Chain A
């Protein structure tokens, strides 16, 4: 049959024709040749401290607080935490914190440190709320995405873009090839434009398997990965996971299935850049096995 829809296959990834097949089979439109957003450099910070979490997984809150200060000032270019927060959110905003609650969940300590930092910056505590869940973003003026760094067995990576899947109201419809559409959730009317910061809890990432965590694929990275461009942050996370898998196996060990949502978030939904050459990575702190 001449009019059959092309099917996205392994060969598309090898040939570099993912966009053409995805465009025709999943999106029902031509894959844009250029990024939907204006090209430019996106900043992603990687702040690490070897004392943030020990081998017994005990977290040092004081170290986390310092890491957050470093992250905020580097991401915003402001001199202190208060100015940094106030360059991202307004004092009277209702601010939703969006941690991940399953499969390598965000550490409670990380969420607490973020919340306390906002309060210290003058945001009333009653205007800060947990915004994970189907309807919780609607009442928020600003969102701070705080996912845990992890691979995912159905979507390849399950960190930044997947963190808002519950906002869709239909999470199971974003599996398989439809995982390419995860970016559309970020453009829902009650979500679009609200994300002021993406702060990835990469204290103890998960680089393989699921649906339950396997501790053999978790390790102390002891970092925060952050930025205001969710796709750029996801791209850096992807690089770290991919490199760690090579280290573990001693050979190439590609994520399977491939994380098609990342490039689609860039080229179809215009959420940010997935091109490493358009991402400026600023690293500070512990440089052991940086993986970048």
Chain B
């Protein structure tokens, strides 16, 4: 198993690795990213190793290995964009869950860039120039990173989401993202420039739309958000803050303190919104076309959560 330290080749095709790699930590990542390190610090980031492969006339290949605190964090970085060509490397065990779209897509390629989730590592391998030979080299490097690795499942929170609701609403798993930071949330689905859900590295969250295609062919969409906090009190406080910021002027019909019963439901400018506090979780549905849909999506997810013991 080489998940802690992949063995990258010294030479791949016509590209040669420069020594040594650059080591980037949370202190100097802003310098490396020209002031924009927040994305990686929005997950539980350990360090980054940067390898440069150079060639005489085929451009360079950059390999970035982001070492994260948990496989969930590495998954989260890949989950920010499921676009691209799915790539499988030899050695992936058949036992990987196929329940989720995400399970089959641990490596994605497009335009010269391979993005890869390998246990604790999120990797970006980018060819300066995309050619058939640079693509081969990028894949060879991806395989070197993935070889011998372990294949952990998606984060538990992700696995809670039902793929279908009432045979109508279908989860858009290709738009599902796992995150911990409000900056990351805003890059996926803008709620507020302020951290109105009190997100931090101790929280886990998943967001994805549910969609159905009506008889007229018009797609309808509801945005689903599930956040897990350290404990119920944190979740309760966060829900109160969210209500105050997002729903000023709306009475807390079911206050966060007493939201153990029915969900709270609101008619807003962009559709119906429902939320509920469930143990240490907050569940929110945005932009539903009608109250029934908002409640159905919320309640099915609540049911899954409770079945898995998430209500405590």
Contact = CB atoms under 8 A, between A and B. Distances in A.
Contacts of A176: 183, 193-194
Interface in B97-128: 110-113, 124, 126
Interface majority SS (helix, strand, loop, mixed), chain B: loop
A9 interface: yes
Interface size class of A (residues with CB under 8 A): 35 or more
B36 interface: yes
Nearest to A180: B193
Given A214-B81, A215-B112, A9 B196 contact: yes
B245 interface: yes
Interface string B177-203: 000000100111111111010000000
A212 B186 CA distance: 17
Interface majority SS (helix, strand, loop, mixed), chain A: loop
Contacts of A171: 35
A288 interface: no
Contacts of B186: 256-257
B36 to A, nearest CB: 3
Contacts of B270: 10-11, 14
A8 B182 CA distance: 14
Contacts of B23: none
Contacts of B216: none
A262 B161 CA distance: 38
Given A14-B269, A256-B189, A216 B36 contact: no
Contacts of B230: none
A257 B190 contact: yes
Contact of A11 (B38, B194, B246): B246
A10 B191 contact: yes
B91 interface: no
Nearest to B248: A6
Given A14-B269, A15-B269, A256-B187, A211 B192 contact: no
A103 B36 contact: yes
Interface of A: 4, 6-11, 13-15, 56-57, 101-103, 153-154, 171-172, 175-177, 179, 209-212, 214-216, 218, 251, 254, 256-258, 260
Interface of B: 30, 33-39, 64, 80-81, 83-84, 110-113, 124, 126, 129-130, 183, 186-194, 196, 219, 244-246, 248, 268-270
19 contacts: A9-B191, A10-B191, A10-B192, A15-B269, A56-B129, A57-B129, A153-B187, A154-B38, A172-B30, A175-B38, A176-B193, A177-B194, A211-B33, A214-B110, A215-B110, A216-B84, A216-B110, A256-B188, A257-B187
Given A7-B194, A215-B113, 14 more contacts: A7-B192, A11-B246, A11-B269, A13-B190, A15-B269, A57-B129, A175-B38, A176-B193, A177-B193, A210-B36, A214-B110, A216-B113, A251-B219, A257-B190
